[in-house]
Amino acid sequence: MRSIARTRGVLFALTLVATAGTAWPATSTAAEPVAGRTTEPVGGPATGPAGAYGEPCVREQLAVPAGAYRVGVSDADPTGRFQVGYMMDQDFVYHLVRWADGVPEDLGTARTGATGINAHGDIVGSEFDSETYRSAGWLYRNGAFTELPGVEPGFDALPTAVNEDGTVSGASGVPGERPVPVVWTRDGEVRPLALPPGDSGGRGTDIDADGTVVGWTAGASDASTHAARWNPDGTVERLPEHRPGPETGSAAEAVAGGTVLGSEVYATDPTMILSWPNGATGPDALGTGEPQAVNRHGSVVVRTTPDTKLWLIQNGVTRSLPTDSTPFPTGEVTALTDDGIAYGRWNSTPVRWDCRLP
């Protein structure tokens, strides 16, 4: 389901990560596997026995619309039929782009802040209005855009993901203030989600096929957020943290098939990637870095630090997703399909990494 790297919301109140793009490549990038490795990456995922590394995935460039200068993928549906993202044209104007069966379609410049797409090609996103200082949420379905309302008139509407039945996760609140987690029904009705006792706000960051929502909540005086899950019946629970304490914050970023992927931050130590497997009582620590994506089989993609590499952890085996050998992020994954294809960007190129097993 929803990528964490894609227009993710604020993970923690005091944490901000900015990633700069690079120039559009002069030539397309063909499938380019890299040599496999036999030792665990520095700061990399904990995957069991040493040497449990498989063949690298194969990187392939996606087709792009004519006149593109920069293009990126924001999300892909679990089946892999649809992807959504953006294009910057030669005049530096952003366009909304949807791929269907590998073919890109330019959906115009009116709304470009896509955050999610489902298996029907429905898209959700939001745009910031510099005049009202409000983020306006929207849904694209059957060739038309409709507005997603806030919980009150004039409030921000911040959709983050949409599942197959059309339910949308996200947040809404007073512009510039901490929002509350919400869902929008298929008919566009907005409904606030329950908060744990003592908490005053939060955000739904992703939604599973069964309607489970994940995200974060926080108390009125908290500087940090805490990972949360809303079950289909509406009940809410904070997810257990790896190193709970007064200087620990966490957020759940993605969910698929009941497995949740997220992060935990500390006052001084590097950010830890966490996975809450379906049915487990506590989280697995997957190394330092950033979570990227998860699919319904429990496979996850992570970007480790300090080596700044992308890895797929699948059935206890770790596989590389090739990017440049630099200390700076040149690739990110925004979605992982159920059959093992990762979508995202490499530099300013929209790509997929084919990680399907023979």
Tens place of pLDDT for every residue, the chain, 358 residues? Answer: 554 543 333 333 333 222 222 222 322 333 333 333 333 443 444 443 334 889 999 999 999 999 999 999 999 999 999 999 999 999 999 999 999 999 999 999 999 999 999 999 999 999 998 888 899 999 999 999 999 999 999 999 999 999 999 999 999 999 989 999 999 999 999 999 999 999 999 999 999 999 999 999 999 877 799 999 999 999 999 999 999 999 999 999 999 999 999 999 999 999 999 999 998 889 999 999 999 999 999 999 999 999 899 999 998 899 999 998 888 889 999 999 999 999 999 998 999 999 998 7
Residue identified by tokens 């339910």 is 167
CA 260/CA 253 separation, integer angstroms: 7
Angle at 300 between CA 296 and CA 302, to 5 degrees: 155
- pLDDT the model gives residue 90: 95
- pLDDT the model gives residue 132: 84
- Would you say 70 and 91 are in contact if contact means Cβ atoms under 8 Å apart? no
Angle at 349 between CA 344 and CA 353, to 5 degrees: 40
How do beta strands 284-294 and 272-276 pair?
A: antiparallel
CA 136/CA 159 separation, integer angstroms: 9
- pLDDT the model gives residue 327: 82
- pLDDT the model gives residue 2: 52
> Which residues neighbour 221 within 8 Å (Cβ) at sequence distance 6 or greater?
none
Type of residue at 89: D
The helix (H) or strand (E) run that includes residue 173 is strand 168-173
Nearest to 31 by CA among 357, 353, 331: 353
Burial group, residue 16, by CB count within 10 angstroms (0-12, 13-18, 19+):
exposed
Helix (H, G, I), strand (E, B) or coil at 355: coil
Residue identified by tokens 């470009």 is 112
CA 105/CA 99 separation, integer angstroms: 6
DSSP state of 17: -
